[in-house]
Structure 1
């Protein structure tokens, strides 16, 4: 890599199958099985993403198939019950869809997934048109980077920038994505920052910082008074 941050566009699946709002229930099941996916984006007539139909949405049909209404007596029927009566993608889908743009960072996409408890996000442009799908497994691809590539980024973007001419005294080792920094540096106040920045390098699993300050020069004459500090008698 060239040091440029990985974005959603770099890891997403670009070839995506989608549904129209009028897609029939059985056609949705067939499409999921054919493409071996567990969720599909739903598009309106303008081609914009308006929702997502997942296996969980489809299973409401089976859950309430025998008339188990569960939410009897409630003013508003549960979402599962409403979806159990749906026969098209428009009625089954979860809307509005949680989406992300192609130039979003992987961290942003991960936060959206966690916050909304979803496993994948439709990727849309600024007009809402579908460009791809990014999944949890896609976000993990960054951890497949070679140790040598990670080490190169840490040396260039962290060690050299922070410690300058003193960078030669810092050894950078990477094994299975775990970065170890060893050596002595003049400015120890930069050590916590080095750890933080190294952890932010893409593909890094963990950082073990073994950096310390320069050794103190020994006091060769500890018993002799310092003439500069001696006070007149």
Structure 2
């Protein structure tokens, strides 16, 4: 796929391949998985999609909308998921109001996926399985950081890291570092999935799966398809 060309006005022309109904996979899960794998492959082969699993997550509280970027650590027919300190700002927002939106965006591929749905906490066994597979240093950081809380300076944060590194030394075992009680995972159970493909002259493709049944993302009978104008 080629990158967009700059016109004399300095605007970037979106010369993506787009997405037609005839090219669409039969279920949202299959289509999302296809695009995610293609983004990962492009990063391996070309190197211009530096974080293909970067997931922007939007929540809401009494002050209004809030958004941040995390890494998508789970993707299965139930929906995309990520890990976090559950006492963090987003953790508290999700607990209070589980309505959630998220997006994956790959600018060099002129593609994006938008999800809207409801958040649910991952089961403890699933969280523990994932946590044990993280690098030792990342597991230590989960203990050292009181996510979203103020800190006097970086020195304080690094001191906390050293303290937990001594407490839980690296012996090369998955159980070297226990899972912090406040650390967990969140899955977005979508009721809407939109696939955006950039096209020339801003005539982009927007294909939307909308939930019509109780099945998961890989159950074709639970979703209807529509096209939106760009």
Please confirm whether the aligned pair reaches a TM-score higher than 0.5, indicating the same fold: no
Higher relative contact order (CA 8 A, sep 6+): 2
TM-score by length of 1: 0.21
Q: Which has the higher helix share?
A: 1
Q: Which has the higher Rg, Structure 1 or Structure 2?
A: 1
TM-score by length of 2: 0.21
Q: Which has the higher strand share?
A: 2
